[in-house]
């Protein structure tokens, strides 16, 4: 399994509308991904901070998409290069002025 993440990088004059993100942007993401990218789960994590000491905000939001295979990761990369992603990109300015940093990681579940 693989975890694809968009970590929104905080900034001094940051704004992030969590309500808009949950009510409008995430459903738009589901709509745009349907039939284009197979995924197992999609969720968002808010107000990421260091657990042990410190109250500095690391990210106002982290979008997480779990996919099963490397082929699914490649399908997501292709989606990000396609015109199908345009509605999502154009929607970003409606909820934030932060820039998302995209990462991917293999997820292992040892027994």
The number of beta carbons lying within 10 Å of the beta carbon of residue 108 is 6
Instruction: Provide the greatest CA pair distance for the chain.
Output: 45
111 within a domain of the structure (yes/no): no
In the structure, what pLDDT confidence band is assigned to residue 106 with cuts at 50, 70 and 90?
very high
Closest to 61 measured CA to CA, from 14, 27, 108: 14
- Would you report the helix, strand and coil content of the chain in percent, each value rounded to 5? 35, 35, 30
Q: What is the pLDDT of residue 57?
A: 83
Counted domains in the chain: 1
Q: Judge whether 49 lies within some domain.
A: yes
Q: For the chain, how many residues are written?
A: 111
CATH number at residue 13: 3.30.70.100
Question: What is the extent of the structural domain holding 65?
Answer: 2-106
The CA distance from 57 to 55, in Å, is: 6
- Assess if residue 16 is contained within a domain: yes
What is the mean predicted confidence (pLDDT) over 72-80? 97
Residue 94, domain member (yes or no):
yes
pLDDT of 110 strictly over 80: no
Q: Is residue 42 part of a domain?
A: yes
What is the spatial distance between Cα 96 and Cα 19, in angstroms, rounded to a whole number?
11
| pTM, two decimal places | 0.89
């Amino acid at each position: 399994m693989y975890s694809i993440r968009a970590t929104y990088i905080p900034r001094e004059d940051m704004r992030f509308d969590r309500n808009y993100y949950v009510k409008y942007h995430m459903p738009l993401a589901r709509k745009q991904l349907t039939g284009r990218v197979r995924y197992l789960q999609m969720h968002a994590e808010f107000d990421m901070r260091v657990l042990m000491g410190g109250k500095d905000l690391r990210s106002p939001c982290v979008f997480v998409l779990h996919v099963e295979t490397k082929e699914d990761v490649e399908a997501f990369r292709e989606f990000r290069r396609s015109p199908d992603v345009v509605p999502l990109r154009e929607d970003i300015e409606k909820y934030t002025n932060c820039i998302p940093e995209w990462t991917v990681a293999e997820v292992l579940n040892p027994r």
